[in-house]
Copies of this chain bind each other. A is one copy, B any other.
Amino acid sequence: MEQKIRLAIDMDEVLADTIDKFIEVYRQDHQTEILLEEMSGKEFHELLPDTLNDSWRTYVNAPGFFRDLKVMPGAQDVVKELCTKYDVYVVSAAMEFKNSLVDKLDWLGDHFPYIGWKNIIFCGNKIVDVGIMIDDRIRNFAGFQGRPILFSSPHNHFVTEYERANNWAEIADKLL
């Protein structure tokens, strides 16, 4: 039997819509409206008023923040199909935020139940031995010897050095 190629898929901004949650909490808690259109080339927190500058850290450190994120459109169907062709791993740099670990694992269980615990990796640096990596952060491609695919997110809008997928339909076109 031929060995399947290993495929690493990031969580935040790739499987899970973290920015949507940020927009929502700042709208609700601080009556601050951040528009997706303003975000090109910027991190979300760069758009916050000075008084709220570091408040995003409180949110991502709070239990529950990552538990109810929306799934990125199309991700569930495409990842399910990818699992038939590739050895799919979900690889998230979750280790910075202790309280995200269990939330992220539970979230994956709800929305991607066909990905078992053996194929989930929570880490800091993504030193994974895989053939293809789908990620929105180019820092995770540093030193990576395989095929990196940059998943579009507002903050990486102006990055031109990598093969890019704008959405899960484009991932399907490339990899299925």
Residue ranges of A at the interface with B (Cβ–Cβ < 8 Å): 6, 89, 95-96, 98-99, 101-102, 105-106, 116-125, 127-130
- Are B120 and A95 interface neighbours, CB within 8 A? yes
How far, in angstroms, from A128 to B127 measured CA to CA in the complex? Answer: 6
Supply 30 A–B pairs (Cβ within 8 Å), ascending by A. Answer: A6-B127, A89-B127, A95-B105, A95-B120, A95-B122, A96-B117, A98-B105, A98-B106, A99-B102, A101-B101, A101-B102, A101-B105, A101-B122, A102-B102, A116-B124, A117-B124, A118-B124, A119-B124, A119-B125, A120-B123, A121-B121, A121-B123, A121-B124, A121-B127, A122-B122, A123-B123, A127-B128, A127-B129, A127-B130, A128-B128
